[in-house]
Structure formats: C-alpha cells, structure tokens
Structure 1
Amino acid sequence: MSETPRTGATLVQRTIGRIERSIESGEWAVGDRIPAEGQLVEAFGVGRNTVREAVRALCHTGLLEARRGDGTYVRAASDLNAALRRRLRRAELKHVLQVRLALEREAAPAAAVHRGEDDLARILSALLARRRADEGNDPAAFVDRDLEFHRAVVAASGNPLMTDLYESITASVRDSIASLLPSWAPELPGACAHDDLAEAIARRDPEAATKAAWAHTETVEAAMARMAEQAEQAEQAEQAESGEE
C-alpha cells in the first residue's frame, strides 16, 4: 500500500529512508546493483520522479553510485561510510596509515580475548592465502589477502563500532598496502608480525597480540621510510640528469 504524505519533499525523504534501511540491513550490500527504477516505484508505491530524486540525493552523498548504461550500485554501507570515503579522498597516505594502524593495534588484543572459532578460522585462512600469494609472486592477490587478514582480526575484536570504522576505510587501507608493497622486504623489523599475531590470537594471549601489532607498525613505518628514501633518490637522479642536459 502506498503512503500519501503531505508534501512531495516528505515523500522523497521517506523514499530515501527506505533505501537507506535496505542498505543498512544488508538487503542491498556494498557493490550490489539496486533494483531498477520501475521495481522501486512498484515496491515503494511512489512515482518515478520521487524515486529519481531519492536516488539522485543518495548518489550525491556517496551512498549510491550511478553508472551510465549499467544501473545504480551501492557504494557505501552507511552515511558514516560515505562521509569517510569523501574525506579519505583528500587524506594523505601518512594520515590514512596512522588511523589504520591505530585501529589495528586496538583490535589485536581484543581479538585475542573475544575471538570465536569462526573468527580464528577466517584469520588463519586469510594468513595462509596471504602466504601463498607471496610465494606465488602475485602482488595483487597479496594485497587483497593481506587486507582480508586485517579485516578478520578487527572483526574478531568483538567491537562492532571499530569494525564499522575499519570497514569504512578498507579501500584506503588497500591502497596503502599496495603503495608500500614495493618498499617492503623480509628483513624489515616485524616482517613476521602477521604469523605472530595469528598465533597470539589462537592462544588467546592479548599481550603477545599487542606486541605483534606494534611489530607490524614498525614494519609499516620502516617501509614508509624506505619509500621516502627511494623517492628522494629518484628525484635527485632526475635533477642530475636534467642538469647534464
């Protein structure tokens, strides 16, 4: 049965609310294409113009993304997710890394305390897949598996707000992992931190998990320093070449 609110603005707002609830409930997951306009008209009992205005407004906020000739897709799971995505587009790599590492350090000991058997299975599965991607010299797969490992650890923390925050920045976390990958090396401090962290979580040892998380921070910071050094060397070489010309 269709609703008949007093004003068109209220009708659009209610339609926006129904779309948001479909996304937040998980009925429409991030990456899913939402039903076609005609289906939404029928499901919500409103006119096409109302649906178009509601979808346009949610595309503007970043919750939805319209793809020409392909439909409209869910881009973020919540208003918070969408707002963070907009802010992260303007963030520097070092700032993204600071937030990422802070969340991961807090999640590590909590995961050791609160993880369930399903959580541990997901962590160990991601760790194994990460190792296989590394041994197979597959950088793209390694980045995805490394991200999945950290997502699994954060999810095991038992803190839904922390999990939501981390999920909101996963695209930027993936970019940060990919950016640092060329500067990472096995001899860097804390290079085995992922194995140590998984083992600590399996043993339910929050102190060891904290130690492993900080070792991972050292790895990332060392990779950042190496990347900065390589960039400086490349710039100096370019300037020297320009001077010779």
Structure 2
Amino acid sequence: MNISSKKSFSKVSHRKLVDEVLERLQEKIFSDEYAIGDRLPTEPQLMEELGVGRSTLRESIKILVHAGILEVRQGQGTRIVSLSMVQDSFEKRLQDANIDNVYEARNMLDKEVAMLAAKRRNEEDLLLLKGYLNKRKNALYEGSYLEYIDADIQFHLSIAKASKNQVLLDLYQSFVPVLRHILTQLILNTNNYQDNSVIHEKLFQAILNQNAEEAQTYAIQNLELK
C-alpha cells in the first residue's frame, strides 16, 4: 500500500515550518488508514502537497527517522517502520529501562560531572562548551532540530569531558542513544516542548566561574524540564 493513494496532505500554514510539517506527517502516519511497511509519497509529491521546500521536508523526515518511525532506503523511498511513538531500537538495557529510572540515573550522573567540571575545567573545555552552546541556540532558533539535538548532546558530553574522569565520560557516552531518543520525542511533541536555553547558559556560567554548587543546581533544573 502506498500513502500516495490516500487523501492528500493539506497545505502548511505560515507557522514554524518544521514544527507544522512534523505535526502533519504524524497525523497522517498515525491515522488508522496506514500500516507498517507503507511508503510515503515521493519527495517532490510531499513538497507539493505540503507546500514546503526540500530542506524543510528533509529535516522533518530525519526527525521521524531518528524517532524510529520512518526508514529511508536508497532507491526504495521512505517507508513506515513503526506506528508507535516508543522507539524499539535502543541498545538492549536502555531499550527496556523505565524512563523514570533513566532520568534518575542521569540526574546522578549530570550532578557529578557538572560539579567536577566546575572544579577541573580548562580554557579548552570552556571554548568547546561555549561553541556548542551557541550552535544549540542558533539551531533551535532556525528550526534545524537535528543540529540542535546534536549540539545539545555534545554540550553535555563536553561537560563530562571537562570532569577529567574517563569513567564518567564513558558512562555519559553510553547514554547518548537514549538521550537522542528523548530529545527527539520532546521535539515531536511540539505543543509541550520547553526551551531551556536559559538554564544551559546558567550552567555554563557556573562552570566558567568554577561554582560547583550552582553547576549542580542548574544540571538538576535542566532535567526537571522534561
């Protein structure tokens, strides 16, 4: 079955385009009309039906690919691989973990690396953190969500690196797949997504000022906005 045989997508209004396209695609995909294995219309068809450009459409498709909902294969187009908002392609342990347990574990990890980073960071660490912070802010403003997610993850990994504890860095890196999934789900839920750029900036300033207590405080506040 091909989605192109179904009712056409309606035109996108002048809201933030990526958000609107994500919403329209999800409405169509998660309707009762379609099944796993169905293919989306071709890229030119979708661009015409949604009334958007190639870059906006591809950004939206990639977000849904990261969420485990769509799959893009060269020469075979884009097809639906899941009709669930819960991705089933995590590494086994994180795949089965309760989300509250994940947040509890990350809470402990983020507090520790933030505290150590504030004490041990050097100038190179600060340059990396500031660079990723700026990329994160600019990507979110422009609606480039994949770049935003990557920059956010790299910002937190750089804090772990600044802790100068290789074991903690390795632990943090093991969380990257589930962090990417969580951020993707937050982006998909555009109505409830909260921009926490201010907290990230305060976290950076605490590390810059070598204030370990404030660094831990803002690390915790960041996780509370979920």
TM-score range relative to shorter protein: 0.5 to 0.7
**Pair 1:214 & 2:220 matched:** yes
**Pair 1:185 & 2:194 matched:** yes
1:185 aligned counterpart, secondary structure: coil
Other-structure match for 2:122: 116
Q: Please say if residues 103 and 223 of structure 2, whose CA atoms lie closer than 8 Å, have aligned partners that are also in contact.
A: no
CA distance, structure 1, for counterparts of residue 107 and residue 149 of structure 2: 16
Give 1:102 shift. 2.1
Structure 1 length-normalised TM: 0.51
After superposing on structure 2, the runs of 4+ consecutive aligned residues of structure 1 that deviate more than 4 Å are none
**Pair 1:98 & 2:98 matched:** no
2:96 aligned counterpart, secondary structure: coil
Give 1:95 shift. 2.4
Q: Please say if residues 133 and 142 of structure 1, whose CA atoms lie closer than 8 Å, have aligned partners that are also in contact.
A: yes
Other-structure match for 2:57: none
Alignment of 1:56-135 (within 5 A): 85-135=91-141
Give 1:98 shift. 2.3
Give 1:191 shift. 5.5
CA distance, structure 2, for counterparts of residue 179 and residue 122 of structure 1: 26
- Once the two structures are overlaid, the 10-residue window that deviates more, 211-220 or 194-203, is 211-220
**Pair 1:196 & 2:202 matched:** yes
**Pair 1:160 & 2:166 matched:** yes
Q: Which runs of 5+ in 1 are unaligned?
A: 1-83, 221-245
**Pair 1:147 & 2:153 matched:** yes
Structure 2 length-normalised TM: 0.55
Rg larger for: 1
Other-structure match for 2:142: 136
Q: Please say if residues 132 and 152 of structure 2, whose CA atoms lie closer than 8 Å, have aligned partners that are also in contact.
A: yes
The one-character-per-residue Cα deviations of 1:202-235 (angstroms, maximum 9, x if unpaired) are: 1111122112112212212xxxxxxxxxxxxxxx
Other-structure match for 1:70: none
The one-character-per-residue Cα deviations of 1:137-187 (angstroms, maximum 9, x if unpaired) are: 11221111111111111111111111111111211111112122333224x
The one-character-per-residue Cα deviations of 1:88-131 (angstroms, maximum 9, x if unpaired) are: 12223332222223211211111000111111111111100000
Cα distance, 1:201–1:159 mapped onto 2, change above 3 Å: same
Q: Please say if residues 119 and 152 of structure 1, whose CA atoms lie closer than 8 Å, have aligned partners that are also in contact.
A: yes
- Indicate the structure with greater helix content: 1
CA distance, structure 2, for counterparts of residue 85 and residue 119 of structure 1: 29
Q: Please say if residues 110 and 220 of structure 2, whose CA atoms lie closer than 8 Å, have aligned partners that are also in contact.
A: no
CA distance, structure 2, for counterparts of residue 113 and residue 219 of structure 1: 25
The one-character-per-residue Cα deviations of 1:16-35 (angstroms, maximum 9, x if unpaired) are: xxxxxxxxxxxxxxxxxxxx
Q: Please say if residues 149 and 180 of structure 2, whose CA atoms lie closer than 8 Å, have aligned partners that are also in contact.
A: yes
Q: Please say if residues 124 and 198 of structure 1, whose CA atoms lie closer than 8 Å, have aligned partners that are also in contact.
A: yes
Higher relative contact order (Cα pairs below 8 Å, separated by 6+ residues): 2
Alignment of 1:22-37 (within 5 A): none
CA distance, structure 2, for counterparts of residue 175 and residue 161 of structure 1: 23
1:204 aligned counterpart, secondary structure: coil
Other-structure match for 1:16: none
Other-structure match for 1:171: 177
